[in-house]
Amino acid sequence: MALPPRATFPLSLHLLLLLLSLLLATSTQQEQFSEELLLKPLPDRKILAHFHFQNEAPLHADSFARHHHLFPKSISQLVQKFHIKAMELSFTQGRWNYERWGGFDPISSHNAKPPGVELWAVFDVPLHQVDASWKNLTHSLSGLFCTSINFLESSTTYSAPEWAFQSALGSLRYGTLPREAVCTENLTPWLKLLPCRDKAGLSSLMDRPSIYRSFYHSQRLHLSMSSAASDGSRSGIILEQTLTVVLQPNDQNADMNHVSKAKIQPSWSLSSIFGRKISGRCVLAKLSNVYLHADRGLVAQLENLHENSAQFATNDTGPVDFRMNSGFKLSVTPERVHKELGKGSSLLYEYPINDYKDTEQFDLGLSWEHPIVWSSPHAPFYASRFLMGSGNERGAIAISLKSTEMTQGLLTNNIEERCKLQVNVLQVVPWYVKVYYHTLQLLVDERPQVLTDFVERIRVSPSEDKVSPGMMELVLQFPCEMKSAVLSIEFDKGFLHIDEYPPDANQGFDIPSAIISFPDFNAGLQFYDQSESKSPLLSKLQEKSPVLSYTEVLLVPLTTPDFSMPYNVITITCTVFALYFGSLLNVLRRRVGEEERLLKNKDASKAVFLRRVLTKLSAKLRGRPLESTPSPSSSSSSFVSPKLILRVLLVAGIAIAWQYYSQ
Amino acid sequence: MGANENSSAKPRVRPIVRLGIFLISHSNIVSLVCFLAGVVALLLLPVLAKNTYISENALMPGSANNMLSTHHVSDANKFIKDLTDLELRSMASPIESQKLIAQYMSALDAEVTFHKFYPQFSQFHPLHFFTSPDSGIISKNGTCSSFGVNTVGIIRAPRGDGKEAIVLVTPYNPNKVGLGEAVSLGIAYSVFSLLSHATWLAKDIIWFVADSQYGEYSAVASWLREYQAPVFHKVDIVTSETCNESSTFDELGQGLYLDGKLNGDFRRAGTMAAALVIKVAEQGNQYEDSLNIYAEASNGQMPNLDLINIVNYLAVHKQGLRIKVKKMWSLLDSWWLNTVGIIFESLGKIARSLNPQWKFGIPASEYVEGAATLASSLYYQGLGVPTGPHGAFRDYQVDAITLEISPKVSLTKVIRRNEFILRGGRLIEGVIRSINNLLEKFHQSFFLYLLTSPGKFVSVGVYMIPFALLVAPLPIVAAYLHSNASSSTPQNPSTLGVDANHKSWKWLNSARKVLIFHLWGVVVSLLPFFLCQLPNTTPTMNFILWGFASAFSLLILFFISGCPIFEAAASQPEKNRWTSLKSVTISTTFIGLSLMSVINFATAEIGALLIVPICLLARPLKLDIQAKSWRTLLRASCNIALGFVLFPPVAFVLLKGAFEDFYGINVGDYWNWVESLWAWNSATYLYVGVVHLPSWALCIHILFHPC
């Protein structure tokens, strides 16, 4: 854990702030609120709906007890109290399908989150106070959002990545709870932070059943500081709240003829996917827009279709005046169309809500005219992670990277120079999964490779039992022509103390998602500058940020005791202890010679008749095996006398007779 | 116990020691009683069987209404029709049917991949005996021309976190798709199409269509190996460059690249929660639709009883299928078992007349059925060979069973088939829904049990008793013999000091002999590895060679150790050597049986039933014949008979004859049987070689001991 030298710290902080100030150009002195909704048809007949609410407030030194007009007070207090520089909290249900829904656009890079809760925060406090701030923050957030974020307080659950995730110089803390369930009780406090809640504006679309019926549901809260353009000092808080859902529109003409390849995409409208329409904007919002995004693949297909149909049309001398969007029809004409720079670029249709009156409701609908098959842009490598091995003893984690059409495109572009591709990997493992970092293996194109040839930087902080999780940060440089790479690392499964098991221990234990990022690539979209609309969502889409993807959460079965049998365990241990200590004490205490002497004296003095007979009998018994091999009949006769048998039989007979007559 | 009364008077010897001494001194009667009690307890097991119950409440089988409708069934029917039509149309390329299956899968929005594998042929790896199957054994005899292609479709659970998966397996042979296989694929397809739209799914669903042209098990096992323990660096001899056929595999993927749903690489979906293998028997069983459950995996491992319970519950109460588990049919009409059943029944009646609370005893017919099922359950667990492709899953700690559904009438009629698919599909749907409900892995119910009927089981706590009773006499008799041997050496007053010294170490001599025999057992069980290397041999020849090599190795071992096999003239102090030899033999057998009971209980139970009598009875024939009383002669003849019967090949032939028939048995069969044991890495093979055979040989050695 290399701490940066003291001298460079303020300098780099300064640089960071400068960067922030560049990215977030707006630094206003008033509170501002804007609401936006981005809709995007996905290749696998689903719709992405991305709500984006941004709330800005100026930051005053004395604003701790200040009332805000729009900005939620709880958040500003949080920021003030814990000196938060940046923070992000996300609640996610379902998995983002990087393959079908894309992994290269800003939406997927920012809003595709691992299942459960993810929280990271950067603090503006001295390094030794960061952990304390983090712990307090987790408790405050768990109270605010009705979740068990407070479990992130334990030092075994969070880690401090330094550069693989986001460079924040030691004051970043990162933690996930993969098993946290997400439901409406998390959404309600989140909505409470909005000025109009879900009573007016775009957020009124959030019909709970339809939102929670989605294939992917991620609700996110992002806090950052805006800085004044002049000096780069902190001037305001920006609270960004997003809700990303992937919905399946109801397919009216769903024929079960599955094998027919050309399937037309389902047509949809806002009312059909949410069950509601937009009745108006939130009056407190400065900006209220709805966007429809057609990504590059779709636009390219549309252009193809357009060309074909145009040719067809010219042959047929039909109407030549064919619009760009010949593939689908929109129920409302867009106010503005943003076009991305460059060839084969995506389109963004803009619908301002400002103009709609309360009486007529806004209901954007899209109906497809032709079956179109396209694919979303993919990240340079498709990352997946899986467990290897079986049994309760050991296993291995493997991260596999498969090149996508992205990298193949790169290869043709610059073949002359040796092109390299940087991949950052951040892997956090809980302590009970004891990773052996020396077993880290790298296979490139199915051939084992020396790790140092590809690893540019590596930072490992090994786990400490019951104290901290293990963390591995890697910067890898791969040649562009690489087809696949596999990183594997072995681990032993640890034993937990009985009270460390979570409530449903028999399900197994989660290894949180690894984060794979590609800093060479920029997920931002570059639109022609439409400067008059200072839309936060648009600027977010245009923001230069590395392409980021999360891998799957893994489930490791550990040995679990049989919790349903504490009684048996107690009984058996007590028995074993009693037997052991009893016999041990017996052996230690006994003095055989002494006892024999005592017994003889007793016999001599007190010749009890019965005892003498018994002694004789037992002597007879014990003496006999020493003399010769006993024939079973004779020995049994001495012990089991006919008289005894008779007596036993008599008693049994009486008992049976009693039983029989008592019925 | 009477001995306890004396404890107050004689504190010198504690009661527990006294009890031990008592038992040892009466070892003959104790061993007889224990052995008989053990056999009786074994026979009582069907009576003591309990009804199964669903132990894990979270499973909630049958609590939801079935969603599988005739709509899905008609889709499945279309699929079956396409598949069988394809079979009729193009006999040439089996790849077409796989393509068709993949098309149907991807039309359901599932991720589809093909998995190409080279079948692994059974080989004896003496060093890999107990290692897990992921130890990187690469097939040496896989050739380019022989490879199979599995088709795998995965439905990702909407809103699920993808940590767990449920596997559906349908084995089929693409070269010859029978109607039964097609229907089993149809059932799986109907369920799969339902699940692709199911909103309640929490675990991913993998539909694995195994290519069974090289055996169902090998296809499933190779896919599992790739899933659980992949080998990333491809260093096989089979590389893609040398194989022309790989192009056909590539071509398979080409036509199917539908909007990113299919690509070449292997797909995974989390930790497997459970697996169901679905099969449909081609010919019906006249009476009603029935369901056969196969559960035994390698080395007698069983899936969690809850899995069988759900299937049983849903099949019986929801779908009205008649459920069956394997039975020993030959036992059903054996007169002795019927007699035993009638005796137990009448005992139960008497008990009930005494006290109606005593629910003891079941009808004789039920007893016979239970005993036949129990015997087959014991036999298949003891054999240690999985009874179906589900066995491969158990090697990775995944609970799996095979469901074989057999229709009442032939499936060629469409209406009848529809109903059949609906029933089968609803059963599978219910089971999947139940497993889907379960948040944890199966752990609540039993893993160690024997089934006496689909709804009744004997748990480990009960079936351990017969085994304990069977092996209990062994240490007692061993101790008795040991004390006997050490005490009854002739008292020679002149050499008393030397003798006492010699006496206490005398058993080491016998231990050496026993060790040599056990070493020989190890050598005998390793010999097949070398015999396998010989080209062009028939099983009979192998068997004969094996026999000769074993005898030869025994001679060599004795020659090396310098210990005579038979003492030519027993001198006076050597006279009782056989007792100490027997004592050591019995203790090693006891240790061997106890160890085996940990590895595979059923084997140990059957083994104990066989080997314990001869171990207890063995006594030099010479002594018995010299005594010339009817008792000793009876014992001698018993010994000879047992010694003959327990020679492993003879025992095999007799058992086979008893359960099947003697017709067409030849010597090679034994070799084949043994080959199947080692091919499946069954611990029973080790037991027969390392415990049973040496013990038997030592007993024979004692029988012919010159004293």
Rg (CA), chain A: 37
User: pLDDT tens for residues B544-589?
Assistant: 888 899 999 888 888 887 666 555 444 545 556 788 889 999 999 9
Q: Which of A82-91, B284-293, B673-682 has the lowest mean pLDDT?
A: B284-293
> Over the stretch B116-159, which tens digit does the pLDDT of each residue have?
888 766 566 665 665 544 444 444 444 556 788 899 999 999 88
Chain A residues close to B159, C-beta within 8 Å: 93-94, 214-217
| Highest mean pLDDT: which range of A288-302, B29-43, B79-93 | B29-43
Nearest by CB to residue A614, choosing from B9, B260, B440, is: B9
CB neighbours of A279 closer than 8 A, spacing ≥ 6?
Answer: A200, A204, A358, A361, A362
Supply the pLDDT for residue B449.
93
Helix (H, G, I), strand (E, B) or coil at A617: helix
Asked if B270 reaches chain A (Cβ–Cβ under 8 Å), the answer is yes
Shortest Cα–Cα distance, B369 to chain A (Å): 32
Looking at the complex, does the CB of residue B134 fall below 8 Å from at least one CB of chain A?
yes
**Would you give the DSSP letter of residue B204?**
E
Residues of B in contact with A213 (CB under 8 A): 199
HEC string of A84-100?
Answer: EEEEEEEEEECCCCHHH
State how far the Cα of A196 lies from the Cα of A35, in Å rounded to an integer.
10
Q: Which residues of A touch B6 (CB under 8 A)?
A: 614-615, 617-618
Min Cα separation A553/chain B (Å): 6
- The CA-atom distances, in angstroms, between B565 and each of A116, B163, B701, B705 are 72, 62, 9, 10
How far apart are the C-alpha atoms of A280 and A211, rounded to whole Å? 20
Q: Would residue A201 be called left, alpha or beta, if left means φ above 0 and alpha means ψ between -120 and 50 degrees?
A: left
* DSSP label of A5: P
Residues of B whose CB is below 8 A from A659: 354-355
| Residue-wise pLDDT tens digits, B158-207 | 888 889 999 999 998 888 878 889 999 999 999 999 998 888 999 999 99
Q: Cα–Cα–Cα angle for B64, B66, B68, nearest 5°?
A: 150
Of B6, B13, B484, nearest to A614 by CB-CB distance is B6
* B396/B487: higher pLDDT: B396
From A116, A94, A93, A96, select the one nearest A105 (Cα to Cα).
Answer: A96
Answer yes or no: do B6 and A43 touch at CB < 8 A: no
- Reduced to 3 states (helix: H, G, I; strand: E, B; else coil), residue A519 is strand
Which string of b and e fits B424-453 if b means at least 16 CB within 10 Å? bbbbbbbbbbbbbbbebbbbbbbebbbbbb
CB distance B387 to B404 below 8 Å:
no
Give the Cβ contact number of residue B559 at 10 Å. Answer: 11
Q: Please give the average per-residue pLDDT across B329-340, as a whole number.
A: 86
What's the pLDDT tens digit per position in B645-659? Answer: 989 888 888 888 777
For residue B334, is pLDDT > 80? yes
pLDDT per residue over B250-279, tens digit each? 555 554 544 444 456 788 888 999 999 999
Type and span of the H or E element at B560: helix B539-561
Chain B closest CA to A506's CA: distance in Å?
5
Give just the sign of the alpha carbon dihedral B591, B596, B599, B604: negative
What is the C-alpha separation between A282 and A354, in angstroms, rounded?
A: 9
Tokens in use for B502? 């010699």
Main-chain phi, psi angles of A350, to 5 degrees: -110, 135
Whose CA is closest to B371, among B391, B344, B404, B403? Answer: B344
Question: Residue B681 class from Cβ within 10 Å (0-12 exposed, 13-18 middle, 19+ buried)?
Answer: buried
Cα dihedral sign, B484-B489-B491-B497: negative
Domains and CATH numbers, chain B: 57-120+134-326+387-462 (3.40.630.10), 327-386 (no CATH), 504-703 (no CATH)
Token reading at B202: 């929490």
Q: Which of residues 1-60 of B touch A (CB under 8 A)?
A: 2-3, 5-6, 8-14, 18, 21-22, 24-26, 28-29
Residue A644, pLDDT score: 85
Q: Which residues pair with A269 in a beta bridge?
A: A365
Q: Which residue has the tokens 């002594």?
A: B623
Place of tokens 């059903």: B332
pLDDT of residue B575: 59
B344 touches B367 (CB < 8 A): yes
| Closest CA of chain B from A385, distance in Å | 9
Q: Return the pLDDT at B79.
A: 92
CA nearest A48: which of A313, A293, A230? A293
B21 to chain A: nearest residue by CA? A622
Contact B25 A624 (CB under 8 A): yes
The beta-carbon neighbor of B260 closest among A100, A178, A553 is A100
What is the distance between the alpha carbons of residues B570 and B580, in angstroms, rounded to a whole number? 14
Are B28 and A386 within 8 A, CB to CB? no
Scanning every residue of chain B, which has its alpha carbon at the shortest distance from the alpha carbon of A621?
B22
Structure token digits, residue A81: 């109290």
Virtual CA dihedral for A141, A143, A147, A153, nearest 10 degrees? 60
Q: Which residues of chain A have pLDDT under 50?
A: 1-9, 11, 17-28, 255-261, 314-323, 625-637
Q: What does the longest C-alpha to C-alpha distance in chain A come to?
A: 137
Q: What is the mean pLDDT of chain B?
A: 82
> What pLDDT was estimated at residue B248?
55
User: Quick one: residue A344, left, alpha or beta (phi over 0 = left, psi -120 to 50 = alpha)?
Assistant: left
What is the least distance, in Å, from the CA of B706 to any CA of chain A? 21
What integer pLDDT is reported at residue B215 of this predicted model? 86
pLDDT tens-digit readout, A473-527: 999 998 888 888 999 999 999 888 888 888 788 888 999 999 999 888 887 787 7
Residues in B closer than 8 angstroms to A486, CB to CB, are: 232
CA distance A195 to chain B (A): 29
pLDDT band, very low/low/confident/very high, at B629 (cuts 50, 70, 90)? confident
In the predicted model, what is the mean pLDDT of residues B233-246? 48
What is the tens place of the pLDDT at every residue in B446-480? 899 999 999 999 998 899 999 999 999 999 999 88
List Cβ neighbours of B560 (8 Å cut-off, separation of 6 or more): none
Facing A625 at nearest CB: one of B6, B25, B234: B25
Domains of chain A from N-terminus onward: 36-368 (no CATH), 381-514+551-566 (2.60.40)
Tokens 């889709």, residue located: B75
Q: How far apart are CA B511 and CA B619, in angstroms?
A: 18
Comparing alpha-carbon positions, the chain A residue that sits nearest to B488 is A628
Mark which residues 335-394 of B lie under 8 Å from A by CB. 354-355
Instruction: Please answer yes or no on whether A614 and B5 come within 8 Å at the CB atom.
Output: yes
Choose the closest CB to A443 out of B8, B232, B440.
Answer: B232
Is pLDDT at B233 greater than 70 in this prediction? no
- Residue A548 CB-density burial (10 A; 0-12 exposed, 13-18 middle, 19+ buried): buried
Distance CA(B589)–CA(B693), nearest Å, equals: 10
Residues of B in contact with A97 (CB under 8 A): 156
The confidence score (pLDDT) of residue A657 equals 87
- Consecutive H or E run containing B314: none
Chain A residues within an 8 Å CB radius of B109:
44
The per-residue b/e assignment along B684-697, b for 16 or more CB within 10 angstroms, e otherwise, is: bbbbbbbbbbbbbb
- Reduce the DSSP state of residue A183 to 3 states and report it: coil
| Interface with A, mutate which of B232, B262, B352 (most A CBs under 10 A) | B232
